[in-house]
Homo-oligomer: A and B are copies of this chain.
């Protein structure tokens, strides 16, 4: 784990991280909670949200605002502001980090005199697999 940067990957944080990764699609905080408690645990929502905050700060997990749900980061440790492609059929999420998009966006935004703190770019559509296999 890339957490030699003095942040502590404690047990609950690790459990939440595993749970997020074990889901193929974005998972809600309360779904994470259910899975943690499935074998007798008794964690509270706060614990999950705190772990998620930590994991997001450390670039291990992303929040999908349009779904109120969370996914594991495909490229932990890298810059961090990607674009997410969400398949409306299978729910899978692909993470992009396209330079042209970022450049065009940065240009358009600064042309309006804004500075950028953070970006939410979430595209809903259909993935290649689902387009092929369903009408």
Contact = CB atoms under 8 A, between A and B. Distances in A.
Copies of this chain per assembly: 2
Contacts of A123: 105, 109, 114, 116, 118-120
A83 to B, nearest CB: 7
8 smallest beta-carbon distances between A and B, as pairs:
A113-B128, A98-B108, A100-B104, A120-B122, A104-B104, A65-B66, A116-B125, A65-B65
Contacts of A131: 113, 115
A121 to B, nearest CB: 5
Contacts of A103: 104
Contact of A125 (B85, B94, B115, B127): B115
Given A65-B66, A85-B109, A120-B65, A114 B101 contact: no
